[in-house]
A and B are shown apart, each in its own frame.
Chain A
């Protein structure tokens, strides 16, 4: 197991190196000039050129890359060309909001989706199954910004039972923190619930047709026990995989959700950074998100050993 983890961590480092090269090059290929954005509309070409030289943007691309990657290796993601703040510090300031939405979404979506999938599989072909899957299809088809604005309109504007926007740090007020997370988490959770529910249903239907389930039924075991103890456990590997992959969807989806609900998280940070062509911030956020994604994949793979004793590394 330890050698497997070490091998995977080694390949993770390689993946992150390739990601950093790709992101660095793609950003430079995209039209835009951070110096011109920072200098403002009224700046002369000479002022912009001076600023560009000051920011080191005039250097050859390999020199810029080596300088930036050298900093990364020392645990420094660079400094924002716009705010002059360390990128790590900017990410740290915004991480709480994003992690709060992500974990609240998981907390709502995973139990709901697995329950929906199990119920739909157990009642496959009935109106319950069709209703649940209709909900799943709708959840998957509706873009987050549509769901978000609809929820704001109904619950915040019309019924006035939820806040429209914003984020309250957990250290400030736990109750208001949780209250402000409900609508964003439901918005983000809809797609996620739909994805997990569909996979759970499909896998459970397959497992429920296996011989050992028939044997369990023949033994007279209660259906609840068969479903939760025997079928769900055997359907666990694909479900855990899709939960892991889904977290990457959450990281992507959070950009839109944070914009709709005006939440100062990592998604908003990267959207603002793209508009300003703040290269170090964009590179830093993408690198951190890639690292999280790769490590989540590793954790997902390792979790298989807990679910299925036949799997070992």
Chain B
């Protein structure tokens, strides 16, 4: 940021939220959201181990999380984030509102507590891998730990860097054997739009991505989506997929945020695309 302010560099792809006030009102610097589908944080839960091998415990997580609060903790400015209840991300072609009663109802910790009780939760520790190298992931983990405790869950926060998380998340066993219950990560908003290419959209059990959700209906719908003849058919299947998904809860979302790029005011020709910035036609006027 200092280099941009001093004119030593012309462009920063992602402006840290805490740096935004430094450039606000500065006529030499322009900010712009280039990726309109932003990024979506998600919480992967271990479907193989208690308590989240019980669907009620996973549904409790939907009631537990206040996406606004999670986003506020890191991004501050409400213009830079929004809560999102769609399985396919918001602002995407597959976005829909099927089965998002939990999202409209908002956070309900009493309901989460009740669902954990219905899941037969008996005080076993829930291990959250807290990614300390990412402010949004680290802050989110702290909030989720606090809400889980309010819902009567015993929580153990394990601070790790990303390399530590990717090693530990491969362990499928119980937390007593070095396993885990929850980890947090994120992907580009546009990635969620495609239930085939995003590995985390699969529900193929232990053959699938970390967290290992399993649901036969979900997999049938993914096949149908891949073979659908046109966009309209895919959107219909996406609705069915979401209707089913928010019942068995493959994962939980933390919110959607929109990083601004920051550039010198005289930089021209930047094209906004999800996930990449083409520079071939960029110039200074």
Contact = CB atoms under 8 A, between A and B. Distances in A.
B3 A33 contact: no
B49 to A, nearest CB: 16
Contacts of A48: 170
A165 B163 contact: no
A50 B208 CA distance: 16
Contacts of B168: 31
A33 B167 contact: yes
B2 A164 contact: yes
Interface stretch (A16-24, A37-45, A228-236): A37-45
Given A42-B199, A45-B170, A36 B163 contact: yes
Contacts of A45: 170, 210
Nearest to B212: A45
Interface of B: 2-3, 5-6, 8, 133, 160-164, 166-170, 185, 187, 198-200, 208-210
B155 to A, nearest CB: 19
A34 B167 CA distance: 8
A146 B247 CA distance: 50
Nearest 3 A-B pairs (CB), nearest first? A36-B166, A33-B167, A32-B163
A152 interface: yes
Given A36-B166, A166-B8, A275-B162, A44 B209 contact: yes
Nearest to A149: B2
Given A31-B163, A160-B6, A164-B3, 17 more contacts: A32-B167, A36-B163, A36-B166, A36-B170, A41-B166, A42-B200, A44-B199, A45-B170, A48-B170, A157-B2, A163-B8, A164-B8, A165-B8, A166-B8, A275-B161, A276-B163, A277-B167
Contacts of A166: 3, 8
A305 interface: no
Interface of A: 30-34, 36-37, 41-45, 48, 152-153, 156-157, 160, 163-166, 262, 275-277
Contacts of B169: 36
Contacts of B133: 275
30 contacts: A31-B160, A31-B167, A31-B168, A32-B163, A32-B167, A33-B170, A36-B166, A36-B169, A37-B163, A37-B166, A41-B187, A42-B187, A42-B209, A44-B209, A48-B170, A153-B2, A156-B2, A157-B5, A163-B8, A164-B3, A164-B6, A165-B3, A165-B8, A166-B3, A166-B8, A262-B3, A275-B163, A276-B163, A277-B163, A277-B167
The main secondary structure of chain A at its interface with chain B is: loop
Nearest to B4: A164
A276 B133 CA distance: 12
Contacts of A156: 2, 6
Contacts of A276: 163
A48 B166 CA distance: 10
Contacts of B5: 157, 164
Nearest to B158: A31
A32 B209 CA distance: 18
A120 B242 CA distance: 75
A41 B2 contact: no
A277 B167 CA distance: 10
Nearest to B191: A42
Contacts of B199: 42-44
Contacts of A152: 2
A152 B3 CA distance: 10
A160 B7 CA distance: 10
Contact of A41 (B3, B161, B185, B208): B185
Nearest to B3: A164
Nearest to B206: A45
A31 B164 contact: yes
Nearest to B199: A42
A164 B9 CA distance: 10
A36 B2 contact: no
Given A152-B2, A166-B8, A42 B166 contact: no
Contacts of B209: 42, 44
Contacts of A37: 162-163, 166
